[in-house]
Amino acid sequence: DVKVTQSSRYLVKRTGEKVFLECVQDMDHENMFWYRQDPGLGLRLIYFSYDVKMKEKGDIPEGYSVSREKKERFSLILESASTNQTSMYLCASSLDSGAQETQYFGPGTRLLVL
């Protein structure tokens, strides 16, 4: 079974702090994704990565950056957290870049920015 793990289930940070959300997958998947999930808005893609050191902006990249130094690990960075970044963050991975590929999701990190 594919396993996608996220470093924290719950996180509380202060406005202006730099925040790192970590995601690790154990199935040698090429693609990794970061989404945020908000009530009434569903999932929105922040960034994705096709390969190590490769990244592409999703639909809502403003205020975020990402890092993929190793194939299995994809980090989401909030350079200066703001209250409007309070949300549930979901990481996912898929075997390759085809749109038909199944995405496998981690359990999510619920971030509260005070």
Partner 1 sequence: AQSVTQPDIHITVSEGASLELRCNYSYGATPYLFWYVQSPGQGLQLLLKYFSGDTLVQGIKGFEAEFKRSQSSFNLRKPSVHWSDAAEYFCAVAPSVGNEKLTFGTGTRLTIIP
Residues interacting with partner 1, by CB under 8 A?
4, 33, 35, 40-45, 48, 58, 90, 92, 97, 99-100, 102-103, 105-108
Nearer to partner 1, 16 or 107 (CB): 107
Which residue is associated with the tokens 């990244």? 55
Closest separation in Å from C-beta 16 to partner 1: 29
Closest separation in Å from C-beta 19 to partner 1: 20
Nearer to partner 1, 10 or 84 (CB): 10
Nearer to partner 1, 76 or 108 (CB): 108
| Cα(68)–Cα(54) distance, integer angstroms | 7
| Cα(49)–Cα(30) distance, integer angstroms | 8
Angle at 36 between CA 83 and CA 41, to 5 degrees: 90
Closest separation in Å from C-beta 57 to partner 1: 11
Nearer to partner 1, 33 or 74 (CB): 33
Ordered alpha helix ranges (H), the chain? none
For strand 65-70 and strand 87-94, is the pairing parallel, antiparallel, or unpaired? unpaired
| Cα(107)–Cα(98) distance, integer angstroms | 23
